[in-house]
């Protein structure tokens, strides 16, 4: 009897020794996938148009962004380059500055992504395109989401 | 000398530190993928450029979007966005005449086109030009929608041709190309399909 004395049974505590491992795993996942937001939006967050014939932008380091949209309590379309609202004429300096940060052989691969609100006037976009043509930055991308194009006109 | 025990470092707070970092990255992370319609702008022409060669009117498909976002095709028919793809497709695929010479060969008919061969519409996919005219006041949403439909017409045609020739859609071929490094036959095929239906979309300067 005494040999098989019942041991006191309690719920064994769950070992948390592997918790750091799990957390580290998640941590590394997020560290690797994270892209720090470089710019803070000064304009109202643009509602991007929708399209079906879209391509993914590869190599984000080669992409520079131009935001176009409205600013609170102000009329007209505003262009945001980096952290501030700018004029169309500043686009070329912005692109020059972007080019500075890349080696020479990558310059022809640089893409300009235009993130414009659906309510923007085409005129503003054309002005930007004209500036880009002037300085030979010919690769552009109209940023869109995947979706039905009919949503754009509602 | 007495042997001293090396005290073990307490790793209990490791989880806390890791959590702290984890939460930081969770908050700062943005998982958005950038997608969009890629275009290449035409190069700036020098001032003293000679006049460009005149194009036959039948080879140009004009889509006009005015400031009220109405869409006019060929200067005469009003159209809704969902009809444009079909019309553009018909125009590109018409194949009513001889095309531009390819690689120095004699100008030839488009033998892969399935269009109506209407002599009043485009001659050949490599001659067919789509011109998108807009107004400064056109809304960007409509503009993109129209562009999307025009690009879509080309994609449809390329898909159809690729399906017929290689039993695989063009979109699928592009996907495969991305996944495989330097697949010679695939690259060759994509180039061939692209050459047969070259995307010629001109974004004209908007009217004031």
pLDDT per position as a tens digit, A128-148: 888 888 888 888 888 888 888
The closest CB to that of A27, out of B25, B145, B151, belongs to: B25
Task: Say which residue, A1 or A55, is predicted with more confidence.
Answer: A55
Beta strands across the sheet bearing A55-56? A55-56, B35-40, A139-143, A111-116, A63-69, A78-81, A84-86
Q: Does A121 contact chain B (CB < 8 Å)?
A: yes
pLDDT for B208 equals 59
* pLDDT above 70 for A17: yes
pLDDT band at A19 (very low <50, low <70, confident <90, very high): confident
What is the pTM (predicted TM-score) of this model? 0.75
Alpha helix ranges (H) inside chain A: 19-33, 91-100, 122-134
Cα-flanking dihedrals φ and ψ of residue B68, to 5°? -95, 15
Least confident piece of the model among A57-66, A141-150, B26-35, B115-124: B26-35
* pLDDT above 60 for A1: no
Q: Which two tokens stand for residue B208?
A: 């004031």
Q: Other C-beta atoms within 10 Å of A1: how many? A: 5
Task: Say which residue, B166 or A1, is predicted with more confidence.
Answer: B166
Q: What percent of chain A has pLDDT over 90?
A: 0
Which domains, and CATH codes, for chain A? 50-153 (3.30.420.270)
Counting one residue from chain A and one from chain B, the pairs whose CB atoms sit within 8 A come to: 164
Distance CA B136, CA B29 (A): 37
| Mean pLDDT to the nearest integer, A82-110 | 84
Mutate to test the interface with B, among A52, A66, A127, A149 (most CBs of B within 10 A): A149
pLDDT for A5 equals 65
Least confident piece of the model among A135-144, B33-42, B98-107, B164-173: B98-107
Task: Say which residue, A26 or B206, is predicted with more confidence.
Answer: A26
DSSP-based three-state secondary structure for B119: coil
The closest CB to that of A51, out of B42, B134, B148, belongs to: B148
The residue count for chain B: 208
Q: Looking at beta carbons, which residues of chain A come within 8 Å of B205?
A: 126
pLDDT for A2 equals 58
Among chain A residues, the shortest Cα distance to B143 is held by A122
| C-beta atoms of B44 and A134 within 8 A | yes
Average pLDDT, chain A: 81
* pLDDT above 60 for B140: yes
Least confident piece of the model among A24-33, A75-84, B101-110, B196-205: B101-110
| Mean pLDDT to the nearest integer, A76-82 | 82
* pLDDT above 80 for A6: no
Mutate to test the interface with B, among A64, A78, A142, A148 (most CBs of B within 10 A): A142
pLDDT for A10 equals 78
What digits encode the pLDDT tens for the residues B33-61? Answer: 778 888 888 887 777 777 777 777 778 88
CA distance B165 to chain A (A): 22
Per residue, the 3-state secondary structure of chain B, as one string, reads CCCCCCCCCCCCCHHHHHHHHHHHHHHHCCCCCCEEEEEECCCCCCCCCCCCCCCCHHHEEEEEECCCCCEEECCCEEECHHHHHHHHHHHHCCCCCECCCCCCCCCCECCCCCCCCCCCCCCCCCCCEEEEEEECCCEHHHHHHHHHHHHHHHHHHHHHHHHHHHCCCHHHHHHHHHHCCCCHHHHHHHHHHHHHCCCCEEECCCEC
Cα-flanking dihedrals φ and ψ of residue B20, to 5°? -60, -50
For residue A111, list its beta bridge partners: A63
Q: Does B126 contact chain A (CB < 8 Å)?
A: no
Cα→Cα distances A147→A48, A53, B41, B144, B147, Å: 11, 10, 25, 12, 14
* pLDDT above 80 for B139: yes
pLDDT for B78 equals 82
In A50-69, the residues whose Cβ lies within 8 Å of chain B are 51-57, 60, 63, 68
Q: Does B3 contact chain A (CB < 8 Å)?
A: no
Q: Does A26 contact chain B (CB < 8 Å)?
A: yes
Cα-flanking dihedrals φ and ψ of residue A74, to 5°? -130, 145
CA dihedral A50, A55, A60, A61 (to 10 degrees): -120
Least confident piece of the model among A21-25, A32-36, A40-44: A32-36
Q: Does B27 contact chain A (CB < 8 Å)?
A: no
| C-beta atoms of A125 and B143 within 8 A | yes
Distance CA B158, CA B161 (A): 5
Strands B129-134 and B60-65: parallel
Note whether A83 and A41 are within 8 A (CB): no
């Amino acid at each position: 009897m005494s040999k098989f004395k019942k041991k006191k049974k309690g719920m064994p505590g769950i070992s948390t020794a592997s918790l750091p491992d799990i957390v580290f795993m998640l941590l590394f996942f997020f560290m690797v996938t994270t892209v720090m937001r470089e710019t803070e939006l000064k304009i109202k967050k643009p509602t991007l148009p929708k399209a079906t014939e879209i391509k993914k932008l590869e190599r984000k380091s080669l992409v520079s962004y131009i935001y176009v949209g409205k600013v609170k309590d102000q009329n007209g379309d505003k262009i945001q380059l980096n952290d501030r609202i700018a004029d169309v004429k500043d686009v070329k300096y912005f692109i020059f500055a972007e080019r500075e940060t890349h080696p020479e052989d990558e310059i022809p691969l640089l893409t300009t992504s235009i993130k414009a609100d659906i309510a923007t006037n085409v005129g503003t976009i054309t002005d930007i395109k004209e500036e880009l043509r002037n300085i030979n930055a010919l690769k552009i991308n109209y940023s869109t989401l995947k979706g039905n194009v009919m949503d754009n006109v509602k | 000398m007495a042997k001293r025990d090396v005290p073990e470092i307490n790793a209990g707070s490791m989880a806390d530190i890791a959590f702290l970092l984890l939460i930081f990255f969770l908050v700062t992370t943005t998982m958005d993928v950038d997608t969009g319609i890629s275009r290449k702008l035409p190069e700036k022409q020098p001032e003293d450029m000679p006049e460009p060669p005149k194009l036959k009117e039948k080879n140009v498909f004009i889509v006009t979007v005015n400031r009220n976002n109405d869409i006019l095709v060929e200067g005469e028919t009003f159209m809704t966005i969902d009809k444009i793809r079909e019309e553009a497709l018909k125009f590109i695929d018409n194949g009513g005449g001889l095309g531009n010479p390819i690689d120095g060969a004699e100008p030839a008919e488009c033998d892969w086109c399935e269009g109506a061969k209407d002599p009043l519409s485009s001659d050949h996919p490599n001659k067919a030009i789509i011109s998108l005219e807009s107004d400064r006041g056109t809304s960007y949403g409509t503009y993109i929608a129209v562009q999307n439909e025009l690009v879509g017409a080309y994609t449809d045609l390329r898909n159809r041709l690729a399906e017929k020739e290689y039993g695989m859609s063009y979109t699928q071929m592009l996907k495969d190309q991305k996944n495989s490094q330097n697949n010679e036959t695939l690259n060759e095929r994509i180039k061939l399909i692209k050459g047969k239906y070259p995307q010629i979309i001109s974004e004209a300067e908007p009217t004031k």
